[in-house]
Amino acid sequence: MIASLELDRRLARAGHAVAYLVTTLPVTLLAIPAVALLIVGAALSVAGIGLPLLLAAAAACRRLVRWDRAAANQWLDARVPPIPTRVRGTGSWFRQSLDLLSDRGLWRMAMHLALRPVLAVALVAVALAPVFALALLLQLGIGGLAGFDEVDYVGPWALGPVLGLVLIALALPAATLTIATLEALYRVLCVIMPALLAPRAAAGGPVRELLAESLGDRTVSVAYWLPDRERFVDEHGRPVTLPEPGSGRAWTAVERDGRRVAAIIHDASLDTSRELVEAAAAASSLAIDNERLKADLQARVEELRVSRLRIMEAGDLARRRIERNLHDGAQQQLVALALELRVLKARVKDPDVGPLIDELSDRLATALAELRELARGIHPAILTDRGLAPAIGALAERGAVPIECSIEVTERLPAPVEAAAYYLVAEALTNVARYAHASTARVEVGLVEGALVVLVADDGVGGVDPEAGSGLRGLDDRVAAVGGMLEIDSPVGGGTTLRARIPV
């Protein structure tokens, strides 16, 4: 099922690439006329007669770019922000023409539209090559099987039923190549289109952009001071170390109302114009202080995530220690006691004592089995020693219902990831045995795009409410602690499916 889900994703990406190219075909066809009209209007505006043409061309360019943006957001998930609406200028025709000609956003759109036909032709050529090859193979293959007379030979071979079967067989790898090419085209479009369409940061953009613009240093960054933690962090709440002298970087403190707010990290050459840096820091202190509050919140969220993961790892470590103590201590003593009972039975000649020893041996074997099951529930030694695949395989063998198991993981994964996946499967199979009234269950584990995907499904009664019990909430917390996501699909009467995606 994981393989089918991955195929569905690939087909969806390929389809989205084709849909985007088809949807934006009018943009490609009208791009050059719109840009040409803009250039002609700009040339005529110098003589004072090109303003109507310039306004029409600017409106056409904006409309085409908005069309392109809507298609990119719909089919490529580009998340390009809205194109700013330009306020109609006032004053003389010359003044309005000058405002339009000095609009950098308009010329950025014109550059995008000018490049678009060339880019579209190149991408369509790449996409059509495997599609044409696939269509040709299918056409010739079907023609050979059906005995069509349009083509007699394919190279040196006569086109007949045998060659037709070979050509149809070759259509399968051609179809795979077509899907892979279109998926690669989708990825290229996802990178190119946001870069071309996204507008540059406006004057009210992030503080870092404003500082980079005013200081002329594109490498400038801001480190925010958190007084309760006494450290600097970036906008994501991660710790930042200020540059040392001689490293080629320098920093300037930002203060507001006599208290430290942040530090601007910039090129060391700007120290020669220290007044400029300090003036920029003073002018942006209020905005930096506001962003510092956001960074403080991000730091608290990151600390909470790390502490939750640390608690989970500490619990797993304690589980392993208890399991090891039981295995090396109590289990070994019980095994030794069972051997001693066998030796005692061999030495005792009294027929009345033999059955008593056998009864003690049976009770001891039951206690040993229960202790092993308890140790396995605390933390399975097989997971630590042999990895995820054997551990889940052992769970499936002990299942209360027939379990179809497909595990496509061969290498060892990080211990927290393996533990999260194992306990997810263990808890899910326990719920199947206790509540699902299922006849079969299915477990699939595999690596997909750098993440471990775990799926557990049954054909039981369904209707699971994640909020009703603590078991599924605990699994959700465990998966979230390692940065994963847990999805539960349990319609009434339709079985239950748990699907987790855990980054490796």
**Rounded to an integer, what distance in angstroms lies between the CA atom of residue 424 and that of residue 21?**
42
The predicted structure's pLDDT at residue 246: 77
Over the chain (504 residues), what is each successive 10-residue block's mean pLDDT?
67 84 88 88 72 82 87 78 54 61 78 86 80 76 68 65 74 79 82 71 53 68 81 80 82 80 78 62 68 72 69 66 66 74 74 73 72 62 81 84 88 85 86 87 88 90 72 76 84 88 87
Question: SS3 for 158?
Answer: strand
In 147-273, which ranges are continuous DSSP H helix? 161-197, 207-215
CB 35 within 8 A of CB 201: no
- Name residues whose C-beta falls within 8 Å of residue 159's C-beta, 6 or more positions apart in sequence: 140, 143, 144, 151, 152, 153
**Rounded to an integer, what distance in angstroms lies between the CA atom of residue 359 and that of residue 32?**
94
The predicted structure's pLDDT at residue 251: 85
The predicted structure's pLDDT at residue 455: 92
The predicted structure's pLDDT at residue 204: 36
The predicted structure's pLDDT at residue 90: 47
**Rounded to an integer, what distance in angstroms lies between the CA atom of residue 302 and that of residue 309?**
11
**Rounded to an integer, what distance in angstroms lies between the CA atom of residue 10 and that of residue 466?**
31
Q: Which CATH architecture has domain 386-503?
A: 2-Layer Sandwich (3.30)
pTM beyond cutoff 0.75: no
- Cα distances (angstroms) measured from residue 426 to each of 85, 162, 412, 472: 56, 53, 19, 12
Burial class (CB in 10 A: 0-12, 13-18, 19+), 482: buried
**Rounded to an integer, what distance in angstroms lies between the CA atom of residue 52 and that of residue 416?**
66
The predicted structure's pLDDT at residue 380: 72
The predicted structure's pLDDT at residue 122: 83
**Domain layout of the chain by residue ranges:** 2-197, 207-304, 310-378, 386-503
> What's the Rg (C-alpha) of the chain?
34
Q: Phi, psi (5° rounding) for residue 250?
A: -140, 170
- Name residues whose C-beta falls within 8 Å of residue 327's C-beta, 6 or more positions apart in sequence: 375, 381
Q: How many CB atoms lie within 10 A of CB 403?
A: 22
The predicted structure's pLDDT at residue 203: 37
